[in-house]
Every structure is written in structure tokens, then in C-alpha cells.
Structure 1
Amino acid sequence: MAVALPKNFSEVRQHLQEPLIRNSFFIMASSFVAAGFGFFFWMIAARLYSQADVGIATALMSSMGLLILISRLGLDQAVIRFFPQRDKSKVLGTAIIVPTAVALGAGVIFVAAVDVIAPELVIVRTVAPLYLAFLGAYSITWVLEGALNAIRKSEYYFVLNLLYGLRILFLFPLVFLGAMGIFSSFGLSFVLGLILALALLSRCSIRPAAGVDRVFIREAWQFSAGAYIAGILMSAPNMVIPIMVLNVLGAESTANYYITYAIVSILFMIPYAFTTSLFVEGSHGGEMKKSVLRTLASMFALLIPAIIGLALFGEQILSLIGKDYVEGITLLRVLALSAVFVSICQTFISIAKVRNDIRSLIIISGFVSVALLGLGYTLMHQFGLIGMGYAWFATYAAGTLLTGVILWKKGWITSS
């Protein structure tokens, strides 16, 4: 099935106004804004703070991200999947209360057992109340971001990401706190984001209901349970790897990895934007095969030039962060090339979510998680930090082959 290309300005304008493309644009613009602010955030942090402080701060932020991921219970995905059919306020209230309670409980356990789980992060015990407050704000804001995309108000998601840029300003007055200054700058932006996101949803007549909708929980659980497991499997490596690098190679290597990954994540934001919009449109009943083809065409039209540009100018970009980070150029180029395979795997995941094929979702996410962490740990010991880059490339290349096999066996390649 061929996708007709627009032939004149009016057709281009109509194409851009389609919900799939429009929301993809705003999600992608949000991602680029976040990446741009992130670049300046880390560039300034690298100049104001020591490399060891940057390494500790990134591990702290990753630990919080991992706790958020564990606490989701798949309800953030259920918000997108079930918003069109159910009472939005009740769904949103439930999706906030339950995961945030779990996140705070997990946070208390992490703080209590940090000397066993991650001895390098024992500093978290001295700032436990602040850590838990930021954890709660992060948890709620995560759900609210998904709600804005679910109601096709991705332009509000864009505004929210503009606000997050204020974290750069916090770096200056908090420099005396060392690693906690970087971490606090990150956390304070989510407190502000929480306030703005609630105000934006209120403009759409959506306010989180106080209480848990047990009917929604029961109906969503079959979907959300699988999405939860798959989400943990796919996202956990991003949270675990900085902590793993810290334990294997030290704080300086952790800073190098995190900064390099933060730059390459600009590429990963392109498939994230398009596949998130694909999931939203599929949940609203859009024609899947047509949407998938448009997603792939639009995604690679942007992704391929971006990969080439980053590979060519990556060394100059790293040098802007600091001369100590230029040694990550080889890692940057390997991670950039892996973005092609990451895009295909992410597209498959969105298709599986819409079709409620939880088994395939767990198969591909489980493979990626186990292979990336296992290969990364093994190859880091053998090759150093670049070993993690090799692991990314090999894992997602193999994952792409696996998605092709699954699609062929299920007949999704030829079906409408």
C-alpha cells in the first residue's frame, strides 16, 4: 500500500493538520526543546560542578526514574488507551493516586536500603524528605503529561517542556550543594511542571477526581498489566545503566555516558514522538496500516539526516560540554547508528499496544531489556565504556530482526 505524497501547499497544510502528524510534530518539538534545554543544562552543570558531582547526580536522577517506572503499574499507558471511552477525571485521578502511592512506598524502601542497593548513593539518606517530595511531583507530572497527549493537546505538552527549561536557572544558586544542587534543579522543575499541567488540564475541563475508580482498574488491568511489564522491561535499562556504569567504571565514566546519551537521545525523541502519536491515533480508532506507513515515512525522513549530522558534528557538540567529555565521541556515533533499529522496535511496540497483543509486547521488550543489560555489563568489562555502545547497537539490531519475524508470523505485514 503506497502512501501518496502531497503535491501542493494546500495538500501539505492538510497533511500537517491530520491528528497523527500534528500531534507527532508537537511531541517531537517538545522532545527537541527538552533536548535543547538538556544540552545547556549539562553544559552549564559541567562547568559549575565537578565531573564526580555530575556522575553522582545522574545516578540519583536515574534511581528516581527507576522508582517511577516500577510504580507506574501500566496505568500511564491505560490513560491513553481508555481516555476516549471513559470518564477522564476519574481515570486521571486513579492513574495519579495509585502509582504515586506505590512510588513513595518504593522510595522509602530505597532510602532505607540504599547502602545495599547502591552504596555510592548513600547521600540520599541525608536528604530523604526532599528526595521523596521530588519523587511524588515527578510521578504525578508523568501521568499528567500522558493525559495531555491522550486528549490530543500535545501543544500543551510542548508548553510544559518549555517550563522545564527553568531548571537551568536553578543550577547557579544551588552550586554550593554539589551533586544535590544538580539533582534539586531537576526536581524543582517538576514541582513547577505539576502546577502548570494541572492548570492546562483544567482549561480542558479535566480535573483529577479524588478517589480510585475500581471499575476502571478492573477493566484496564488486563491491558495495563502487560503494558506495565513491557514498559519496565523497555525503560529499566535507561535507569539501570548509569548506576551500573557507576559501580563498574566509576563516577567520571558515568558522567561521560550520561552526557553522551543525553545528546543522542535527541535522535531517540524522533521515533518516540511519532510512535506515541501512532498509539494515540490507534486508540481513537484510526486506520492502522495507513498510519504505520505514514509514521515510518515521516520518521525516517527526519531521522536519517539527523544521524548523519550528529555523527559528523558530535565531537564539536561534546567539546561544548567540556573537554573531558570529548572522549565519548565513539560511543556517541555507535549510539546514533542504533537509532535506526530503535525506531523500528518502537513502532512495533505501538502496533502491539493498539492491537492489545500483550504477548508480543512482552517478548520484544523482554528481549531488549535482558540483552542490553547483559551485553552491556559484559562488554563494559571487556572494552570499557564503548562496550555499552556496542551493546545498544547489537541489541536493537537483533530486536529489529525479532520484530520482523513476529510481524510475518502474525500476518500483520500483509493485513490492513
Structure 2
Amino acid sequence: MDRVLIATARRLSGDSLARNSLLIMATTVGNGGLGYLYWMLAARTVPPDQVGPATALISAATAVSMIANLGAGHMFIQRLPGIDTGTWSRVVGAGLFAGSVATAATAALTAVAVPAVSGNFAFLAGAGATAALIATAVAVTLTTLLDNLYVAHRAGHGMLLRNLAVAGGKIVALAGVLAAGFHGTVAVLLSWTLPTLVISLVTIVAALGRLRPGARARLTGLRSELPHLRAALTGHHLINLTQAGPAALLPVLVTARLGADANAHFYLAWMTASMLFMVSPAVASALYAERTNAAQVTVTRAAVVVAAVVGVPAVALLAGGDLVLGLFSTAYATEGGTLLRILVLAALPDAVANLAVAHWRSRGEFRLCRRLNLIRAVTCLVLAWLLLPTHGVTGAGLAWLAGQTAAALLVAAVALRHRPTLREPARTPATREPAGPEAVVGRAPSGWAERDRKAATTRATAKE
């Protein structure tokens, strides 16, 4: 038995995709487990009518961050491998700075505009709520970009340790703020946001030099990075926006249509199911990082990793999801049990779509990525808006399942019609740091075009 474990460990250490996929998923499991404990403690120590506004503000902050982070995270994954230390420092500094500033500005605008449109977001009005939304949104953006920074270097262990520190810090902070006399919504927001901000800042100041010796985030040369940021905005960010948009906006729609109290029931079921939803994006990110580092990795290998990790937890949640939600309270199990089972079923088509996007992105087929993600985003959000008033929070789950299924069917259609698109080996970029931003996003290097031309010629000859 010991020999089997040692042999398995050696194989994992030599397989970068499996190793970093498992580390990214371990980050997800750690975040999910500690996050589950955090919200269970919050649900038992803070009244439900106070937890609702807190979860709604965190959901709004997550949506703001998703909209405003400019796609800098995937720019890190694509540009950082192989570049010199000075350029690395400039790229990282520009991405973190621009993403944070854009997030803060978008959060401030949201705090002013959204309450005027929907009365269910009245809790965002006021200077205190605006400051909380800005701080929470920036915290989400920083942790997202730093995670992508570790993924770019295939350093999943660093990301795991950083996220465990954040998740554990939230639990300690919750106990601390309650002991300090803070209660209700304020206690939840302080304990959720402060550890995320503090550990992100510590990472920037103290940990980047370990990730890349001699490097640090620099704010010099920002002007030279603007073309690359614009290219990331129109390329990677639009893909990310349409891919992550429904997940970030669903809690916001639940609040807008049903109120903050209903969002508390939705959010806890969503958080429980998110341990499954985060697996395929983690493997997809690892797949994309492998290919930007010139590794020949197939989608089939990535799919096997996803299936191996998702299978058992999915069956467990289908069978005992009510018991899991019941740990929060009986009301959460009653309101969210059916929703949780629907969300679990959606994990399969979601994985199909996410792996397809990672594969097409690595081949420079950004238009196909955007179309796929746009279909699932529109399907999910439109159906959620229509179903929530009549089906309650379960309507959000039905809309999510429909959106993911539509995307998976589109992937199947593309695979049947253009089989080489999903079956050809990954393309390897000719250079690590292209001459201009247009070579970074949205256009394949000339070597790829030559390969495509030869492949097309071969297929035409075969048909004749």
C-alpha cells in the first residue's frame, strides 16, 4: 500500500496538469470547507434578517469585481511565462493597480445607481454601505488576480496556502468582531472583507519575490501597459465576463426579484454547490496555463481529472443535500434543498463548457469562446428573471441548469461539425512576449496559421 501511495505521489509530482489541478481544487475544497464553517457560525450568531443584506452586498461586490477586473488575471497567465524580471514586475503592477482602480470606481457608481433602480438594494445607500461595497469588491478583485498569478507560474501550492489563510482568517475575524461588540450585518462584512484585504496586501508586499525571485509589483511604466490592458479587456475580459457573469449576477437577481432574505437561502445552497462548480474552472485554468508554458496537454486528460474529483461529492450532495443545509437551520434545508440538487446536476454541462472554453482560448479562438459563453449567460439570466417570481429560489437553479445545458449542447454541435477543433493537439506560441498587444489577445501567431493551413490542405486531400 505504501508503495502504491509513493508511486502515485511521484506520478503527480511529474504531471504538472494533475498536480496543479489538484492544488487548485484543494484550494477550492479548503475555501469551501472553511467557508462553510464560517457561514454556519454566521448563521447561528447573526439574525437571518442581518445575514441577508450581508450576503447580498458580498454578492453585489463579487459581481462588481467580475465586471471591472479588466481580464488582467488571464493576461497574467498568457504573458508572464518566460518574460524577464523587469517586464514581469511591470505587467503585474499594472494589472493589479488597474484592476483595483476600475473595481473601486465601478463599486462607487453601483452604490449610487442601483438603489435608485431597485428598492431591494436600499441597503447599499449611504456612505458606510458605499465604503463597504468598495472595500469588498476590491478585496475580491485582488484575490482573483493573485490567484491567477499563481496559476500562471503553475504554483498551486502558494495559492492554496494563501487562500487557506484568507478562509481561516475570516473565521478568526468573525469571533474577534463579535467579541469586540460588533453585531449583525457589520460583523459579517468586517470579518469577511478585512482578512481578504490584509492577506492580499501581504502577498503583494512579501510573497511575489518568492514567486519570481527579484521581482515585485511596480507602478512604473504603466503607460506602456495600457495597450495590453485594452487588448485584455476586449479579448480575455469579454470571455471571462460572459463566463462568470451568470454566477456573479444570479444572487443579485435573487435579491432584486425576491429580496435579501430569500438571497440568504439561495446563497447558502449556492455556496454548497460551488464546491463542484469550482472544479472545472480550476482544471480549465491549469490546462490553459500548461499550454501557455508550451506543454502538450489534451482536453481528455483534463476531463478525467474533473470527473475523478466531482463524481463522489456530486453523488453525496444529491443524496444528502438536505442534511448539509440543515446544519445551518431547518429553514435553509426547506427552502434550498431542491435548489441544491438542481445545481449539482448542472455541474456536468458546466464542466463541458468550461473545458471547451479553455481549449479554444489556448488556440486563439476567442470569438468561439465569446459566443459559447454569451449563449449560456443570456439563457441563464433571462430565464432566472422570468422564473424567480413564480418558482422562488428554485427558479434560479432551473435557469442555471438550462444555461449550462445549452452551452454543452453547443460544444457537442461544434465537436461534431468541426472535429479537429476539439481533437487537434494544442498549439504552442512561437514567442513568450509578442511584439504588440494584438498578438497577445485575439490573434494566433503566424506559426499557428501555418499549421492550420497545412491541416486544411490535408483534410481537403483526404476528402478528394
Same fold per superposition (TM over 0.5)? yes
* Aligned-pair CA distance for 1:259: 0.1
Matches within 5 A, 1:37-56: 37-56=34-53
- Contact 1:78–1:224 (CA<8 Å) still a contact in 2? no
Tell me which residue corresponds to 2:312.
Answer: 305
* Aligned-pair CA distance for 1:250: 2.2
Tell me which residue corresponds to 2:143.
Answer: 141
* Aligned-pair CA distance for 1:88: 1.5
Q: How many residues align?
A: 408
User: What TM-score do the two structures reach when normalised by structure 2?
Assistant: 0.83
* Aligned-pair CA distance for 1:271: 1.2
* Counterpart pick for 1:295 among 293, 302, 314: 302
Tell me which residue corresponds to 1:255.
Answer: 264
- 1:269 is matched by which residue type in structure 2? M
- Contact 1:110–1:117 (CA<8 Å) still a contact in 2? no
Matches within 5 A, 1:51-90: 51-86=48-83, 87-90=87-90
Tell me which residue corresponds to 1:126.
Answer: 127
- Contact 1:51–1:251 (CA<8 Å) still a contact in 2? no
In 1, the alpha carbon distance for the partners of 2:251 and 2:356 equals: 26
Tell me which residue corresponds to 2:108.
Answer: 108
Structure 1 or 2, whichever has the larger Rg, is 2
Tell me which residue corresponds to 1:174.
Answer: 177
In 2, the alpha carbon distance for the partners of 1:252 and 1:308 equals: 29
Q: Comparing 333-342 with 225-234, which one deviates more in the overlay?
A: 225-234
Tell me which residue corresponds to 1:190.
Answer: 196
Matches within 5 A, 1:3-402: 12-17=8-13, 18-86=15-83, 87-124=87-124, 125-127=126-128, 128-164=130-166, 165-175=168-178, 176-198=182-204, 199-204=206-211, 205=213, 206-219=215-228, 221-289=230-298, 292-327=299-334, 328-402=336-410
Tell me which residue corresponds to 1:3.
Answer: none
Task: Render the CA deviation track for 1:154-174: whole Å, top value 9, x for unaligned.
Answer: 101011111112111222343
- Contact 2:53–2:261 (CA<8 Å) still a contact in 1? no
Mark the CA change 1:115 to 1:208 in structure 2 (over 3 Å): closer, same or farther.
same
- Contact 1:319–1:326 (CA<8 Å) still a contact in 2? yes
Q: Comparing 324-333 with 167-176, which one deviates more in the overlay?
A: 167-176
* Aligned-pair CA distance for 1:363: 0.4
In 2, the alpha carbon distance for the partners of 1:179 and 1:337 equals: 32
Q: Comparing 266-275 with 152-161, which one deviates more in the overlay?
A: 266-275
Tell me which residue corresponds to 2:439.
Answer: none
Tell which has more relative contact order, 1 or 2 (C-alpha 8 A, sep 6+): 1
SS in 2 for 1:207: coil
Mark the CA change 1:53 to 1:351 in structure 2 (over 3 Å): closer, same or farther.
same
SS in 1 for 2:175: coil
Mark the CA change 1:384 to 1:139 in structure 2 (over 3 Å): closer, same or farther.
closer
Task: Render the CA deviation track for 1:133-179: whole Å, top value 9, x for unaligned.
Answer: 34334333322221112112110101111111211122234343411
- 2:404 is matched by which residue type in structure 1? Y
Mark the CA change 1:14 to 1:117 in structure 2 (over 3 Å): closer, same or farther.
farther
* Aligned-pair CA distance for 1:20: 0.8
* Aligned-pair CA distance for 1:29: 0.5
In 2, the alpha carbon distance for the partners of 1:415 and 1:202 equals: 37
Q: Comparing 362-371 with 223-232, which one deviates more in the overlay?
A: 223-232
User: What TM-score do the two structures reach when normalised by structure 1?
Assistant: 0.92
SS in 2 for 1:321: coil
Q: 5+ residue gaps in structure 2?
A: 426-464
- Contact 2:58–2:136 (CA<8 Å) still a contact in 1? no
In 2, the alpha carbon distance for the partners of 1:121 and 1:169 equals: 29
* Aligned-pair CA distance for 1:391: 1.3
* Aligned-pair CA distance for 1:367: 0.7
- Contact 2:120–2:260 (CA<8 Å) still a contact in 1? no
In 2, the alpha carbon distance for the partners of 1:265 and 1:48 equals: 23
Task: Render the CA deviation track for 1:75-116: whole Å, top value 9, x for unaligned.
Answer: 211011111143211110110111211111112212222421
- 1:178 is matched by which residue type in structure 2? G
- Contact 1:331–1:385 (CA<8 Å) still a contact in 2? yes
In 1, the alpha carbon distance for the partners of 2:120 and 2:172 equals: 27
In 2, the alpha carbon distance for the partners of 1:413 and 1:114 equals: 41
Q: Comparing 390-399 with 256-265, which one deviates more in the overlay?
A: 390-399
* Aligned-pair CA distance for 1:129: 3.3
- 1:285 is matched by which residue type in structure 2? A
- 2:189 is matched by which residue type in structure 1? F
Mark the CA change 1:69 to 1:212 in structure 2 (over 3 Å): closer, same or farther.
farther
In 2, the alpha carbon distance for the partners of 1:263 and 1:130 equals: 25
- Contact 2:46–2:183 (CA<8 Å) still a contact in 1? no
**Same amino acid, percent of matched pairs:** 24
Task: Render the CA deviation track for 1:235-273: whole Å, top value 9, x for unaligned.
Answer: 122222212112222222211100000001111122122
- 2:341 is matched by which residue type in structure 1? R
- 2:318 is matched by which residue type in structure 1? A
The CA RMSD over aligned residues, in Å, is 2.0
